[in-house]
Amino acid sequence: MCRLSCIFHSPATGRLTMLSRTAVRMMLLCGPMLITSLAEAADWPQFLGPNRNGTSNEAGLLDRFPEGGPEVVWRVPGGVGMSAVAVADGLAITSWNRQRKQWLVALDVETGDVRWQTPIAESYGNAMGDGPRATPTIHDGVIFVFTGEGVLCAVEQESGRLEWNIDTVAAFGTRPAEYGMSSSPLVVGNHVIVHVGAPAATIGAFDVKTGQPVWKAGQGPAGYSSPTLLDVAGREQVVSVTGDQAIGLDPATGETLWTYPFKTNYACNTANPIVVDGGVFISAGENHGSVLLDIKEESGRYAVSERWSSLHSKSVMRNEWQTSVVVDDYLYGFDNVGAAGPVTHLSCIEATTGKPVWQEARFGKGNLVLADGKLWITTMKGELVLVKVTPEGYQELGRARLFGETRQTMSIANGLGYTRDDREVLCIKLK
């Protein structure tokens, strides 16, 4: 059976983005007038959105919160875990601990009703928080999910039927990361890629149809970040920040193209790499800091250099677990002070130089995504905070307490925001 899908060119990112089957059906039924609006209202099918950079192309969202905060469309019981919500084809997908198991759960985007729920492993416990960490990935009718102890699963999207699973930790002869396996699966072609953290297999690729290992790359700890497909030095590469380095790989073969040492205490590299002005920006907490790397290719060999670096206790940006976003020539992100300390600033810096622009001191811990010229921030106090994106200074547009303590980003799809805590999943009207 042919799967219905389409791609469009995003002027915001310069990349091709997959539209959902539902969106394509709407285009075929309703004609070309919908094409522009659909390009601004795509799904959010994986960790940090369509391009894994925390950025949505949606427009026409709220500029201010109404009195009492934005409307909650639905609120349903959930479970314990750190997985964010992936959204595609009318489903909101997440995973959690409940009733002594880890579950992959599909909710109806309109009502929050449970369409199906599939047990994928025994419940996962950890001193740093219980439940699965990774966000599911929805791709071509299959959902890929990574459990807290490192079991990679493929689940049929329509029915919730488990198609295959593989214990990646056992397959490569290692142990789970100290704080849990946190790599959100990346699908590139016929491969699904995660961080494993084995001595001879930091990163592993598995066949999307069978789960069988295809290639392995790197040496050392997995860390807590996720692999990302980036355009670097004139070609697409899988770029990962593992527990002790940044690494660029050939997506098809796993060949190592370049590496850059980036060892953080406790292997706590958690934020994703992003492209900034053709370079690769990486950042970590634990008083480590941030670097903008330039990667150049000459005669088939890659050279890595630092365009700028800002390290240790005086760093301008120390992303503890949050991935910064880039808008024009500026980076916006969370700067955590100390070794996972309680003080976190919201900061704006010049992306190409690292020069500080403004800082909202002691903003507090949270997470953020970008949409419609605004930061949509979820805080550990349970607030949704709306901040204008501008280098002119911190401009708060709205703040509302809507949920419990959370580390998850909000997923934005079709004018709605999806987020969760350890008790509930919420759908919030953003238009």
234-253 confidence digits (pLDDT tens): 999 999 999 999 999 999 99
The pLDDT score that the predictor gives to residue 42 is 85
The arithmetic mean of pLDDT across residues 135-163, rounded, is 98
- pLDDT bin (cut points 50, 70, 90) of residue 342 is confident
- pLDDT bin (cut points 50, 70, 90) of residue 30 is very low
Dihedral sign from CA coordinates of 229, 211, 105, 142 = positive
The C-alpha atoms of residue 423 and residue 76 are separated, in whole angstroms, by 9
CB-based contacts of 357: which residues, under 8 Å, 6+ apart?
330, 347, 348, 349, 350, 391
Helices (H) and strands (E) in the chain, counts: 3, 35
Instruction: Please enumerate, as own/partner, the contacts of 99-107 that have beta carbons within 8 Å and a separation of 24 or more.
Output: 99/123, 102/131, 102/132, 102/147, 102/148, 103/79, 104/136, 104/143, 104/145, 104/153, 104/155, 104/160, 105/78, 105/79, 106/143, 106/157, 106/160, 107/76, 107/425
Q: By the 8 A CB rule, do 158 and 109 touch?
A: no
Q: By the 8 A CB rule, do 91 and 73 touch?
A: no
The C-alpha atoms of residue 72 and residue 428 are separated, in whole angstroms, by 4
Q: By the 8 A CB rule, do 255 and 300 touch?
A: no
The arithmetic mean of pLDDT across residues 183-187, rounded, is 98
The C-alpha atoms of residue 81 and residue 397 are separated, in whole angstroms, by 30
Question: Is residue 14 assigned to a domain?
Answer: no
Question: Is residue 16 assigned to a domain?
Answer: no
pLDDT digits (tens, 9 = 90+) for 45-80: 999 999 999 999 999 999 999 999 999 999 999 999
CA-angle at 326, arms to 186 and 71, nearest 5°: 80
- pLDDT bin (cut points 50, 70, 90) of residue 18 is very low
The pLDDT score that the predictor gives to residue 35 is 37
Q: By the 8 A CB rule, do 258 and 293 touch?
A: no
Beta-carbon count within 10 A of 143 CB: 25
Task: Give how many domains the chain has, as a whole number.
Answer: 1
CA 16 to chain centre: 18
* Percent of all residues in the chain with a pLDDT value above 70, rounded to a whole number: 90
The arithmetic mean of pLDDT across residues 33-49, rounded, is 66
DSSP H or E run through 23: helix 21-30
The arithmetic mean of pLDDT across residues 212-221, rounded, is 96
Q: By the 8 A CB rule, do 43 and 7 touch?
A: no
Q: Mean pLDDT lowest for which of 38-47, 70-79, 396-405?
A: 38-47
Give me the CATH number covering residue 321.
2.140.10.10
Q: Which residues of 2-24 are buried (b: 16+ CB within 10 A; e: fewer)?
A: eeeeeebebeeeebebbbbbbbb
* Percent of all residues in the chain with a pLDDT value above 90, rounded to a whole number: 88
Q: What is the DSSP letter of 358?
A: E
The pLDDT score that the predictor gives to residue 281 is 98
Question: Is residue 25 assigned to a domain?
Answer: no
Q: What is the DSSP letter of 245?
A: E
Closest C-alpha among 136, 228, 186 to residue 420: 136
pLDDT digits (tens, 9 = 90+) for 276-301: 999 999 999 999 999 999 999 998 89
The C-alpha atoms of residue 116 and residue 167 are separated, in whole angstroms, by 23
Report pTM: 0.90
Average confidence score pLDDT of the chain: 91
The C-alpha atoms of residue 248 and residue 232 are separated, in whole angstroms, by 9
pLDDT over 50 (residue 29): no
- The domain containing residue 50 runs over which residues? 40-429
pLDDT over 50 (residue 10): no
> pLDDT higher for 18 or 414?
414
pLDDT over 50 (residue 174): yes
The CA radius of gyration of the chain, in Å to the nearest whole number, is 20
- As a whole number of Å, the end-to-end CA separation of the chain is 36
Question: Is residue 110 assigned to a domain?
Answer: yes
The pLDDT score that the predictor gives to residue 339 is 83
Question: Is residue 336 assigned to a domain?
Answer: yes
Q: Would you call 312 exposed, middle or buried from its count of C-beta atoms within 10 A (0-12, 13-18, 19+)?
A: exposed
Question: Is residue 335 assigned to a domain?
Answer: yes
Question: Is residue 384 assigned to a domain?
Answer: yes
Q: Mean pLDDT lowest for which of 7-21, 41-55, 96-110, 139-153?
A: 7-21
One DSSP character per residue, 169-234 reads HHHTT----TT---PPPEEETTEEEEEEEETTEEEEEEETTT--EEEEE--S---S---EEEEETT
Q: By the 8 A CB rule, do 213 and 206 touch?
A: yes
Question: Is residue 341 assigned to a domain?
Answer: yes
- pLDDT bin (cut points 50, 70, 90) of residue 41 is low
The arithmetic mean of pLDDT across residues 138-159, rounded, is 98
